[in-house]
Amino acid sequence: MTEKRLRAAFTNQHKAFIGFVTAGDPTFEKSVAAILALAAGGADVIEVGVPFSDPVADGPVIQDADLRAFATGITTTKVFELVGEVRKKSDVSLVLLVYLNNIFKYGYDRFFSKCKQVGIDGVIIPDLPMEERSEVLPFTLKYQCALIPLVAPTSGDRIPQIVQETTGFVYVVSSMGVTGVRSQLDSNLEDMITAIRKSTDAPIAVGFGIHTPEQAAKIAAIADGVIVGSAIVKIIAENTAVTIEKITGYTRQMGAAIHKGDREKNL
């Protein structure tokens, strides 16, 4: 089961670094190179964003990345081709961040069958309400693709229902609003994580706004993984001769901070 590879990225001794890229940004080939650069830098899981015309959970940085990808002719089919190219060189755990309409248009069975074929371990669907999860769940189970739930600061009493039967990890949204770097994260983050742990033993990763080593270390002290998106996409947007080196260097820097935070927790 490919989702087992996703769970293996989280262990008691090792907190996971999860990096995000938009598929096809700025080109198909450079997007493949960016994913491989994250893997070379030590990323444990890589989110590959499927570009969408109305990405309601994403801020300007990722919206611009979607537009750059669309300009090169990216499609859902080409995203799968891109993953296939990555799989020729890396066995790193990959998950898709994809909006529901893309899956619906592609066809549920066809989409998740393709996920299994190319080696996608899980999917994050930001606009899939908990109440409509049953529309997708049979296909994720059929093709052993983890359906990764999102818990937000407003989830409250719904947390037990949101995280039940999680097979991958729980994605905790650190702050209200859309993606993008932030100087401050939600002050109730630790309470949220405590509430989640009462309802599931699945690993917990925190995203939205994290971009500095200091933030990463603080998150790693209370969670099982740290998710970084916009900061990486900003590096990709520079599109210079040293972009790949910068991605790998940034990944190593953030990974070192995450592991430092983990060590401090256990002192």
d(CA 92, CA 181): 25
Is the separation of the CB atoms in 184 and 224 below 8 Å? no
Is the separation of the CB atoms in 32 and 48 below 8 Å? no
Residue 58 appears among annotated catalytic residues: yes
Single out the catalytic residue among 3, 25, 44, 58.
58
Is the separation of the CB atoms in 16 and 205 below 8 Å? yes
Is the separation of the CB atoms in 86 and 35 below 8 Å? yes
3-state secondary structure of 150: strand
Total residue length of the chain: 267
Single out the catalytic residue among 3, 44, 47, 186.
47
3-state secondary structure of 12: coil
Residue 253 carries which side chain, given as an amino acid letter?
A: Q
Q: What is the residue-level pLDDT of the chain in tens, covering all 267 positions?
A: 467 899 899 986 789 999 999 999 999 999 999 999 999 999 999 999 999 987 776 778 999 999 999 999 999 999 999 999 999 999 999 999 999 999 999 999 999 999 999 999 999 999 999 999 999 999 999 999 999 999 998 899 999 999 998 989 999 998 654 454 444 555 588 999 999 999 999 999 999 889 999 999 999 999 999 999 999 999 999 999 999 999 999 999 999 999 874 455 444
How many other CB atoms are found less than 10 A from the CB of residue 2? Answer: 19
**What is the reported pTM?**
0.91
d(CA 187, CA 193): 12
Domains and CATH numbers, the chain: 2-265 (3.20.20.70)
In terms of phi and psi (left: phi > 0; alpha: psi -120 to 50; beta: otherwise), the region of 208 is left
Residue 47 appears among annotated catalytic residues: yes
Tokens at residue 201, please?
């033993």
Q: Which residues of 41-54 are buried (b: 16+ CB within 10 A; e: fewer)?
A: bbbbbbbbbbbbee
